[in-house]
Amino acid sequence: MARQTKLTKAARGRDCQVRIPGVCNHNPETVVLAHYRMAGVCGTSMKPADLIGAWACSDCHDVIDGRKRIAADRDILRLWHLEGMVRTLDILMREGAVKA
């Protein structure tokens, strides 16, 4: 198991920020940091920095990581994940955990 950082631990017990319509289980007990994968930021077996991620419930995380399929275009899934990342960063900044 990967080492937990302060930012990955901060996801525990939080509300899902990805919020995929019809998918999100709204259960804070299942929320983890879901890293946003993008060329140039990560690679094979390499996750991006913890700032580049969103708090996601287990069901939203399964969809954005491709473990669960829904009838949505890949681009919209990436947008939902990216919007979740922005909401997550906004909360972290307001709480003082991340400085702008």
Q: What is the pLDDT of residues 20-67, one digit of tens each?
A: 999 999 999 999 999 988 655 666 676 777 888 999 999 999 999 999
- Domains defined for the chain, CATH in brackets: 6-94 (3.30.50.20)
Whole-number percent of the chain with pLDDT over 90: 71
Q: Work out whether strand 53-56 and strand 32-35 pair parallel, antiparallel, or are unpaired.
A: antiparallel
Identify the residue whose tokens are 């946003």: 36
Rounded to 5 degrees, what are φ and ψ at 2?
-70, 150
* Predicted local confidence at residue 30, as pLDDT: 97
- Let me know if 61 is a catalytic residue: no
Question: Is residue 95 predicted with pLDDT exceeding 60?
Answer: yes
Catalytic residue (choose from 26, 35, 61, 81): 35
- 0.85 cut: is pTM over it? yes
Strands (E), 1-100: 32-35, 53-56
